A and B are shown apart, each in its own frame.
Chain A
């Protein structure tokens, strides 16, 4: 491999020995990483599933490639520092996902290079639809636990498993995942503050996302009869055109927006209130829906209590969790179970 080929390979497969030797040659030291590199490393950890690789222009090429390669061990240091195995699992999975794009583009000999990098020695058969064969023990060691790659559903004969192109890709991607996962956590000596700080940010960001995904399933499901009592009360007052104090309007609007009601519908809900000013209401609601930091979140039960709006003890910390619970259980109280 030429130097630039090696760099490209390392960019595609940042866990590879090619990547490691580029890192070693660069003299990278965790104690002296730049903020820029840490930022790039954070993006490894915050990539959402399905996010595509950036397309690099030729001019920015080798510098960018190298940065990407160098940021990988920094990302590993950061995720190790979080001490959260679920984040390490997720990181390994997203690296595998990231690499899968490249794996799919490899020609057969590229697949063999990658296989070799991952400690696998398949024989190339190039007979359609079978691309390679692998020894049974190597196959099960690599693919065990992936339900689409169960040995019992493969072509097995005389100590070999015969795989088509897409099965071979799946084996390699799983090997990437397990290789990255088993390399974590990395032991680092004294933790540089930039790394520790990044680890904190990553943990917080994932907490936020967890909340968001809890809501994902219910987005747009508006069932007023299953609202928690506090929100039900505010909602029906608005519908009946009775006055609702400012904090009440704020609370119910953020709640409705969080569960996926369109801003126009929220505005319409306020239409019957005394002194309704459409323009002003739309302005406020839009600000709540798309503030500079994203959607403004609905107040928690503790806040509602402060506002004097909370319903009697409902055992939940947040009106949205109560609503999600109601949706899943048809409104039964957890105490009934």
Chain B
């Protein structure tokens, strides 16, 4: 049996017994996707939850997404005719945007031209120079890193921007998490205003002098006293970096020799006091400016939130319906409370299909973790797997077919 047909049969069974509930369903535009195409048709609308769930059970799309926007006429075409009313703020985090350390360990490339294979995600083949195909996997570690980034976002949203209500969280169904903010204080923001929020979160367009940081050959000036937002986070970064006193690390970050870093910090407590008072006299002469600018860049890199920009600023974006199935994994985009989120193990708890055994052909996969167990590795072989793992491999394209 063809993988898409099999997947749709499974999805139909799931949807007919697990109705979804979409917030303000009648105001949203919907889109669905098929095999290898996350959105293949859009401009759909449903008058009620029941109508939407009937559609899911009958058509069993491999992907189903809804607009963050609320429209007067969600199915109208073109986009302007829909008449935008308001829109949730949406933030998305994906392991492949973060590239945590483990990520390259379970990312593989292969060259369609010369069949060379390797680990990591280069753009071009190392032996023939052609474009390569990249296959990404996830593991509990990178999903944890993605979740940490989400909690960093929440800190900034709440403590700095004052966003305090209307949060809804869900797993994306594959490599990350989504945050929806449904609060009337924020839902009416213009597209440009949303860009401002994203720029703030990701630190783009940040100008140090405007925040009171100035590196000169004569010394390094920074805002003193209680500081806000970016300047406080920057100060905290510099303060803890210098307090830690790891000369090798400071030298590497600041682009100077270790001896220079030592010279600058020969009396660390003095430097820390100077930092808190807002002026650190030059210890490095001509190199001073470049040194502090590099440390500021390191602070920015550390403090910026690495979210998916396009999701947050595209006002017509369609986003996976919470609790729906992801066609590439068969995992559910589980809605999670903040408490649940802290402990959530997606590769275990987002599994929805059962343990019934299925025989697959042409299975190729490295060792992977799913549903609390490890599977594989498989080298183009036939294998007997529980249904949830079979759906996962078929959806990803790591198996050819099902023996019925």
Which of B163, B196, B229 makes the CB contact (< 8 A) with A150? B196
Name the interface size band of chain B: 20 to 34
Which of B185, B186, B210 makes the CB contact (< 8 A) with A153? B210
Interface status of A91 (Cβ within 8 A of chain B): no
Q: Is the CB of B160 within 8 A of A141?
A: no
Which of A140, A141, A144, A156 makes the CB contact (< 8 A) with B228? A156
Task: Report how far A150 CA is from B204 CA in the complex, Å.
Answer: 10
Task: Report how far A147 CA is from B204 CA in the complex, Å.
Answer: 12
Task: Report how far A154 CA is from B190 CA in the complex, Å.
Answer: 19
Which of A144, A156, A159, A162 makes the CB contact (< 8 A) with B193? A144
Q: Is the CB of B192 within 8 A of A152?
A: no
Q: Is the CB of A151 within 8 A of B159?
A: no
Contact with A along B153-165 (1 / 0, CB 8 A): 0000001111110
Task: Report how far A151 CA is from B205 CA in the complex, Å.
Answer: 9
Which of B161, B163, B211 has the most C-beta atoms of chain A within 10 angstroms of its own C-beta? B161
Where chain A touches its partner, the secondary structure class is mixed
Tally of A interface residues using CB under 8 Å:
21
Interface status of B10 (Cβ within 8 A of chain A): no
Q: Is the CB of A158 within 8 A of B160?
A: yes
Interface status of A126 (Cβ within 8 A of chain B): no
Interface status of B231 (Cβ within 8 A of chain A): yes
Given A137-B189, A140-B189, the answer on whether A152 and B162 have CB atoms closer than 8 Å is no
Interface status of A145 (Cβ within 8 A of chain B): yes
Q: Chain B residue with minimal CB distance to A158?
A: B162
Q: Is the CB of A156 within 8 A of B230?
A: yes
Task: Report how far A155 CA is from B164 CA in the complex, Å.
Answer: 19
Q: Is the CB of B162 within 8 A of A151?
A: no
Task: Report how far A137 CA is from B187 CA in the complex, Å.
Answer: 10
Given A150-B205, A153-B211, the answer on whether A159 and B162 have CB atoms closer than 8 Å is yes
Task: Report how far A140 CA is from B211 CA in the complex, Å.
Answer: 18
Collect the chain B residues with CB atoms within 8 Å of residue A144's CB. Answer: 190, 192-193, 195-196
Interface status of A135 (Cβ within 8 A of chain B): yes
Interface status of B98 (Cβ within 8 A of chain A): no
Which of A135, A145, A157, A158 has the most C-beta atoms of chain B within 10 angstroms of its own C-beta? A157
Q: Is the CB of A136 within 8 A of B205?
A: no
B205–chain A nearest beta-carbon distance, Å: 5
Task: Report how far A145 CA is from B227 CA in the complex, Å.
Answer: 25
Given A137-B186, A141-B193, the answer on whether A152 and B161 have CB atoms closer than 8 Å is no
Chain A residues 208 to 247 lying within 8 A of chain B, measured CB to CB, are: none
Q: Is the CB of A156 within 8 A of B161?
A: yes
Task: Report how far A154 CA is from B193 CA in the complex, Å.
Answer: 14
Task: Report how far A145 CA is from B211 CA in the complex, Å.
Answer: 19
Interface status of B203 (Cβ within 8 A of chain A): yes
Task: Report how far A158 CA is from B226 CA in the complex, Å.
Answer: 13
Which of A140, A145, A155, A162 makes the CB contact (< 8 A) with B197? A140
Q: Is the CB of B193 within 8 A of A152?
A: no
Given A152-B206, A153-B206, A156-B229, the answer on whether A135 and B192 have CB atoms closer than 8 Å is no
Chain B residues 307 to 336 lying within 8 A of chain A, measured CB to CB, are: none
Task: Report how far A157 CA is from B162 CA in the complex, Å.
Answer: 8
A275–chain B nearest beta-carbon distance, Å: 66
Interface status of A160 (Cβ within 8 A of chain B): yes
Task: Report how far A291 CA is from B231 CA in the complex, Å.
Answer: 60
Binding site for A on B (CB under 8 A): 159-164, 185-186, 188-190, 192-193, 195-197, 199-200, 203-207, 210-211, 227-232
**Can you list 5 A-B contacts (CB < 8 A)?**
A136-B162, A141-B193, A150-B199, A150-B205, A156-B161
